[in-house]
């Protein structure tokens, strides 16, 4: 059995590796030769400690990812978010690999949004607005900045030392950033990414200008919401997996209209494979609902195994 520790996986993962794995996984998800099962959400005896189980299969891979959020971990010197990926042997069903992937999960999530932005955002997009200043936000900015010539980052977050550190870190990485109001950020942005646990819209739909690309990645459970429902009515809609998006993603708040055929949702894998168009004009608004699918975890796990094998061979 293959085992990769948290320290090993964090040392192996890169934005390039994550992007390639995410693109392959999202394409596979839109194929008939794969399957993604409904996410299972649970908690421990402490309701502040929650976890999700995401599973799926393709012709190459079968497995499960368990992602956890333990609210009291910072007091123990540990991250709140953790992730473990289990790959099963395709022939026997026995455990093939166990990969601790806490930091990898942040790369994996951001990579999906970068793949979509590369297909949907305007080529000259330079101003990025990010809602939230938590751990995931930094990975989102880094991944999106690899796909477009971002030269300004507008941060919308409550005042805190974490927000100040986030802005300073971006500046150190050569990405000028400043904190602004939600309205100022959205009105100025070419790309908007929301990375929060919000259960109510973070901004007003009328603030979003023509040509903007919007990413919702924080909505990953029933009741969560980052985008105003009115925005969906005047945008072209894309997601990683439609069946999951309307259950736990931001599109759950437009489920009735989507299921009635009043709103059309395009799976991003169909754009990758050329079965559906991406952005059609410089003026249209595009929205990508990124709820996170199991195939992303399975494919990045396989990429990490290959990367470790190469390092071992070279060593």
* Non-local CB neighbours of 188 within 8 Å, separated by 6+ positions: 127, 129, 152, 154, 180
> Residue 103 burial by CB count (10 A; 0-12/13-18/19+): exposed, middle or buried?
buried
- Residue whose C-alpha is closest to residue 69's, from 59, 60, 79, 77: 79
| 8 A C-beta contact, residue 266 and residue 192 | no
* Non-local CB neighbours of 127 within 8 Å, separated by 6+ positions: 150, 151, 152, 154, 188, 189, 190, 191
C-alpha to C-alpha distance for 213 and 235, rounded to whole angstroms = 9
* Tokens (6 digits) for 144: 């999106």
C-alpha to C-alpha distance for 79 and 137, rounded to whole angstroms = 15
C-alpha to C-alpha distance for 156 and 9, rounded to whole angstroms = 31
C-alpha to C-alpha distance for 189 and 247, rounded to whole angstroms = 28
Residues with catalytic roles: 65
* Non-local CB neighbours of 256 within 8 Å, separated by 6+ positions: none
* Tokens (6 digits) for 45: 């005896």
Angle at 112 between CA 202 and CA 269, to 5 degrees: 115
Q: Is the dihedral of CA 9, 12, 16, 17 positive or negative?
A: negative
Output the furthest CA–CA distance in the chain (Å, rounded).
Answer: 57
In this structure, the number of other CB atoms found within 10 A of the CB of residue 260 comes to 8
């Amino acid at each position: 059995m293959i085992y990769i520790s948290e320290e090993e996986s964090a040392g192996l993962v890169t934005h390039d590796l994550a992007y390639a794995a995410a693109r392959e996984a999202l394409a596979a998800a839109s194929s008939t030769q794969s399957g993604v099962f409904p996410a299972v959400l649970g908690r421990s005896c402490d309701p502040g400690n929650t976890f999700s189980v995401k599973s799926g299969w393709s012709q190459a891979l079968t497995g499960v990812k368990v992602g956890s959020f333990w609210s009291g971990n910072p007091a123990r010197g540990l991250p709140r978010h953790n992730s473990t990926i289990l790959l099963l042997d395709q022939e026997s069903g026995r455990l093939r690999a166990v990969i601790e992937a806490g930091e990898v999960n942040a790369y994996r999530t951001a990579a999906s949004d970068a793949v979509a932005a590369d297909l949907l955002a305007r080529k000259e997009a330079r101003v990025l607005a990010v809602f939230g200043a938590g751990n995931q936000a930094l990975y989102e900015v880094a991944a999106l900045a690899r796909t477009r010539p971002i030269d300004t980052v507008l941060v919308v977050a409550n005042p805190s030392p974490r927000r100040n550190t986030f802005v300073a870190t971006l500046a150190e990485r050569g990405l000028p950033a400043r904190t602004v109001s939600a309205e100022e950020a959205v009105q100025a942005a070419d790309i908007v990414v929301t990375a929060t646990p919000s259960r109510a819209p973070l901004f007003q739909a009328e603030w979003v200008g023509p040509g903007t690309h919007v990413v919702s990645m924080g909505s990953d459970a029933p009741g969560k919401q980052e985008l105003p429902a009115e925005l969906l009515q005047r945008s072209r809609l894309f997601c990683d997996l439609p069946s999951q998006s309307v259950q736990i993603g931001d599109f759950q708040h437009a489920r009735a209209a989507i299921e009635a055929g009043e709103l059309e949702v395009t799976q991003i894998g169909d754009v990758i494979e050329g079965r559906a168009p991406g952005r059609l004009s410089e003026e249209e608004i595009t929205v990508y609902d990124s709820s996170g699918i199991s195939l992303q975890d399975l494919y990045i796990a396989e990429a990490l195994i290959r990367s470790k094998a190469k390092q071992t061979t070279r060593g």
